[in-house]
Structure 1
Amino acid sequence: MAGGHGAHHGTENKGVALIIAILALFLALAEVGAKSAQTEALNANIEAANLWSFFQARTIRQTQVRTAAEQAELARTEANSAATTAQRERWTSTAARWESEPETGEGRRELMARARVAEARRDKNMEKYHMFEYSSAGFQVAIVVASASIITGVALLVWLAGALGAVGFGLMMLGFFAPGLIHF
């Protein structure tokens, strides 16, 4: 009779080992998702920072050109009136072009819009990253609890591990498909 009980216990352990293997597989997928989302978030953050720096440089240069146009107007005399007016118009035109330059996407308005898109992409990827990290934590705890069930023989721990694994799986799916649905 003891031999039969041992064989049954061995079969249960194989089932738990299979659950642990499945949890480990999902843990690996969640970790890959987290790393990918983190990398995408960093890339988008760098892109946004670069665009905002370009925006800032454009703003400074635009301000310099506008100031030069105003100074030229103040320094205008009858002798240099035509030349001053022509130069002031060129500077004013350049400043206006730098405000909005749709053909190149490098006007201040376009740079601002592109930077905001990059920031939104960064934020979404950070939401994914966090969802995958919570998912990974759920899988890790589930693996520990399932391992503890083998050592202790307490079947309730297998059910708890399964529930934690299901939570981890749900969070992983949110990371893939709806990262901003819930916030922690």
Structure 2
Amino acid sequence: MTNTSLYEIEIGALKGGSADLGQYAGQAVLVVNVASKCGLTPQYNGLERLQERYAAKGFTVLGVPCNQFLGQEPGSAEEIAEFCSATYGVTFPLTEKVEVNGEGRHTLYDGLVGFADAEGHSGDIRWNFEKFLIGRDGKVVARFSPQTEPEAAEIVTAIEAQLAA
């Protein structure tokens, strides 16, 4: 996403229609590939707390359902929405289910995977709940491994730095 802003990419919303990423222009966005049947699924709790804590300051979590890792997001759009709402009280936006790796990789992830995390990993998404922080200008500013908890100090510090910018 070096030359293209997040806000210019087209992706559908989970419940149909466009996710309209342009509405997040000027905000910090944490893009996370999510799944309902993964050992990391409880991270929805931390993601929702980040949403609640920072939404009024110009931040959103953007959940991107993906079924590419051991079929851990098999549900329909309706099933995913119901699970997220009923089980974790998710209020942040969710996109349509997409592929994040391989030939069918969505354009959104084409622009994300080239960015390296603190350990130097770039390239394919390793697992569910890999996180990318997008700055107010629509460019990637940080990447975090799937195992990094949403409320880990390095994520919170990075979010707060973007909101202060």
Same fold (TM over 0.5): no
TM-score interval w.r.t. the shorter chain?
under 0.3
Bigger fraction of residues in helix:
1
Compute the TM-score of the two structures, normalised by the length of structure 1. Answer: 0.19
Compute the TM-score of the two structures, normalised by the length of structure 2. Answer: 0.21
